[in-house]
Chain A
Amino acid sequence: MKTTNNTDSLKSMGDCLMNIGAELMSAGANTGRIQLTIERISKMWGIKTELMITNRVLLITVFIPESDQFITILKRTLPHAANFTVVSGVSRMTWKAVEQKSTVEQINDELKRIKAMPHYKRWVILLLVSLAGFAFCRNLGGTPTDAFVTFVATFAGLFVRQEAHKKKFNVYLTVLFAALTATMITGLYSKFYLQHTKEYIAHATSVLFLIPGIPLINSFSDLIDGNHLNGVLRSVNGLIIAFSIALGFFITWVIVGL
């Protein structure tokens, strides 16, 4: 049997693969991609892996072909936070690693570097996401005033969401808080400025920054790919987020009386 680097123990290889898998899962990659990435790296090291991937837990058995050695590792993933820089970085790293026959240590270092890559500045995120709210409102036929109110509501809602996230609230509660803030602003605008006319566009588009896009699309790619369990888990997650948004609307309607 031939491995490219006999110095690396099975345990360190398994841990490294698990770290990559956990990072990808919490960054928002679909299950097929995680499987493919782990298989590519383990193939390069000349080991075999059997995987079980779920939303919160990864289970891997690593073994050397034609020998009795194997190891099984179970790892909880981190809380999910969309980060496509990690997905993209790991993808590039995998190709480079296969090319250069990287060792465990090199891959761990690279993973650390990818994780430390900067996020966008907070004010940039706030501004651009609010602008997206403005864009939604304009495209669905809102007037410039509607769009501006949506901008303000999205800004406030996202700000509340970030603050709630910092204070480590439950994910669905942070969505509820954000939806409540955004709909409250547009609801008051609809009631007092537009005098109950049918101008619901600002009201409806102010929460669109909360829609669970990654769970939704990944859910379908998992289902089509045959990872039914993960597909269902993701869609349920998306449904609860949608329900939180609806609850935010409902509370606003009760309070404002729309």
Chain B
Amino acid sequence: MEWLIYAEKGFWFGIAAIGFAVLFNVPSRTLFPIWVLGAVGGLVKIWLVHLGHGPVLGTFIGASIIGLLSHLAGWWKVSPPIVFSIPASIPMVPGIFTYKMMMGVIKLTGNPNPIEYSKILTDTVHNGMLALFMLLSLAVGAALPLLIVRKKSGKELQDLLKYRNE
């Protein structure tokens, strides 16, 4: 039964990635790899969270896997890796934490009743830090592989084109 829940989540992660892909007007041949990457990254993240490693590490590793796989996808569909990695990693954005932080910040401008205030402050800072570090790890995870393997993948792409022109 648990597998069914995971399958549903993976499916929706992929759909969310496709939504952003269409918004960014990607070539239609890249839509299917983006769906797969979004689903894989999202599933890795929720799996790590399930194992108790926390959402920050989960996001980082999920985004890194997307970043690495985007090179394979780019090699397969002859497109730059960012075409895959950016739409696929966006479904992992910490929407709820950011929302809670925003709510908290607005509450903090209100009545400074000392008992409630310190609780709101703690919650807001906690949610804000989580959101911030999840965003950071998302961006770093998706961007880092681009910088590590850039030159090499370019050469591979060239060889592939040669092969196709023959």
Which A residues contact B (CB, under 8 angstroms)? Answer: 28-30, 32-33, 36, 82-85, 87-89, 91-92, 95-96, 98-99, 119-120, 124-125, 128-136, 138-140, 200-201, 203-205, 208-209, 211, 213-214, 216-221, 224-225, 246, 249-250, 253
Contacts and interface: CB of A to CB of B under 8 A. Distances in A.
Nearest to A133: B19
29 contacts: A29-B80, A30-B146, A82-B23, A82-B25, A87-B83, A88-B83, A91-B79, A91-B80, A95-B158, A129-B19, A132-B17, A132-B18, A134-B12, A135-B12, A135-B13, A139-B13, A140-B96, A204-B95, A204-B99, A209-B20, A214-B86, A217-B85, A218-B82, A219-B139, A220-B140, A221-B82, A224-B140, A225-B147, A249-B99
Interface in B5-31: 8-9, 12-13, 15-27, 30
B48 to A, nearest CB: 15
B86 A213 contact: yes
A220 B12 contact: no
A203 B161 contact: no
Contact of A139 (B80, B91, B138): B91
B24 A125 contact: no
A205 B25 contact: no
A138 B12 contact: yes
A136 B79 contact: no
A249 B106 CA distance: 11
Contact of A217 (B8, B12, B27, B139): B139
A221 B147 contact: yes
A88 B80 contact: yes
Given A92-B78, A95-B161, A32 B143 contact: no
Contacts of A85: 25-27
B93 interface: yes
Interface string B75-105: 0001110110111011101011011101100
Nearest to A81: B25
Given A204-B95, A208-B93, A132 B143 contact: no
| Residue among A95, A120, A135, A219 having the largest count of chain B Cβ atoms under 10 Å | A135
Nearest to A120: B22
B155 to A, nearest CB: 10
